[in-house]
Structure formats: structure tokens, C-alpha cells
Amino acid sequence: MSIIPFDQREGSIWFNGKIIPWKDAKVHVLTHGLHYGSSVFEGERAYKGKIFKSKEHTQRFRKSANIMDFDLPFTDDEINAAKDEVVKANGGGDQYVRPVAFRGSEMMAVAAQHSKIHVAIATWAWPSMFDRRPDPMCAPVHAKAAGLYMICTISKHKAEKKGYADAMMLDWQGRVAECTGANIFFTKDGQIHTPIADCFLNGITRQTVIELAKGQGMTVNERRIMPDELASFNECFIVGSAAEVTPVSEVGPYKFTPGNMSRSLMDTYSSYAMV
């Protein structure tokens, strides 16, 4: 199957307040976000043309920008409206939504307080689909910042070369953290276990799944999990805007059998998100 490179796709992108052709959404090679990682983004889903938890994602988008010491030049209402506009411009239906904000090319140095803040929103059709995270004292782990994903890209590439779909990340103390783009959950004895989100992003989908699980009467334990505990778990699943709720059958030498709890949360989340 031929895959169209992203820079050659057809469609529209919202860029600094205007809908423009996909091919015209370009930035300068000396953009500060490219050289110094001064960029934040969101990953969202639109179902039947409606973005799931759009306001919550925009609130986190703004919080991430503030953590990175810049302000978004548009209000939350303007960003929410822009997301709806570009989803509609690209045909509605089920889409992945990617807002991104970054410092421009006006200043090329570590300090760039006078650089312009650019905001873009792209959407595209997307049907349902052991390395370490940094110490939270030395990285803005609660921001969805572009630079934090470098180690994820490296880890995912290593995993794919070994025949796996993703990599499970450990925190700086060797405890289970998350996957490269999704949060991870396990089940044992009728209860759910998931790492404490103190050194990685507490995903909106993660929060939603925990809320839905508790609403079904399930016990959710947010706790420290060591890698050697994986042998004791029955089920494993990952959650995220792109992954939604996806069962996992294998993590390295550990095997899991998708069961009733994973399937129940898959169905519940799908029904909740697509309302």
C-alpha cells in the first residue's frame, strides 16, 4: 500500500488564525521550536465530526505553553472554534486532531522572549488503531512538550526493529511509567493497576478511563509498579487519544490475555467518546 508523505497530502490546516492549503503550511528552517524544543502540542480525536473533550485538551494545551514560558496568542474559545473549523474543512467524520504551538525564527538563541508564538491545527483521517522517562526535577514532564518525545521516538524505533508495535518506558528509578505515546494499565484479581502519573503526562484519556472504570464499580490502584510484577498480571491495555483503549498481548517476555475488563472498558469508552 502506498503511503502519501505528510508534506504532500491534500487538505487544509489552520495556521495563525487562517485556514490555508495543507501544502502552504510552512515555517523557516531557523524556527526556535526546531532548534531548542520550544514547542507544545495536543493529540485529540474527532468522532463523526465532533472533537472528544475539546475544551479539556485546549486547557492542557495552554497549561503546557505556560510551563514552557510562553502564552498562546488566541483564547480558548478561538482555539476550540478553529479546531471545529479545520475538522469541517477536512471533511468531518473520524479524524485525528493535532494543535501545535511553537516559538518562531525571530530570535536564534537559547533566550527567545521576543520571538513570535505560532499556532497551527492540522487534522487527518485516522480510523481506530524498555527505556526511561526523565526525572521530573529535570524536565517539564507535565507539559505535552515536543522535546520530551525524542526518547520515545528512539525507544519506539528500537522496539519496532525487534518486531514489537511499541515500547514500554520505565521512569528514572526503573519503575513502569508508560508507553511511548499512551498510558498503560494492568489487571489482577479483578482490580486495575496503573503507574502514578508523577513523572509523565497524566493523559486526558487516562483520566477518562479511570473515571469510567470507577463508574463501573472497578477498583483502580494508582501505584508504583516494578517491571518484574508484569508476570503476575492477567490483562494489559494502553490508552490514549490515538490508541483509545487497546489491549496488549505481549510486553517482552510477558504474555497477557485480553479479557472481560479490557473489553468492557473498550466498549464503554467507545460509547462515551462517540456520543
Residue 234 burial (C-beta neighbours within 10 Å; 0-12, 13-18, 19+)? middle
174 contacts: CB under 8 Å, gap ≥ 6: 132, 226, 227
What is the residue whose three cell numbers read 528512539? 154
- Pairing mode, if any, of strands 44-47 and 50-51? antiparallel
Is residue 144 annotated as a catalytic residue, yes or no?
yes
The SS3 assignment for 240 reads strand
250 backbone dihedrals φ, ψ, rounded to 5°:
-155, 135
- Give yes or no for a contact between 52 and 124, defined as CB atoms under 8 angstroms apart: no
Pick the catalytic residue from 144, 156, 158, 188. 144
Q: How far apart are alpha carbons 93 and 86 in whole angstroms?
A: 12
264 contacts: CB under 8 Å, gap ≥ 6: 216
What is the residue whose three cell numbers read 480510523? 127
SS3 of 85-129: the string is: HHHHHCCCCCEEEEEEEEECCCCCCCCCCCCCEEEEEEEEECCCC
**Which of the residues are catalytic?**
144
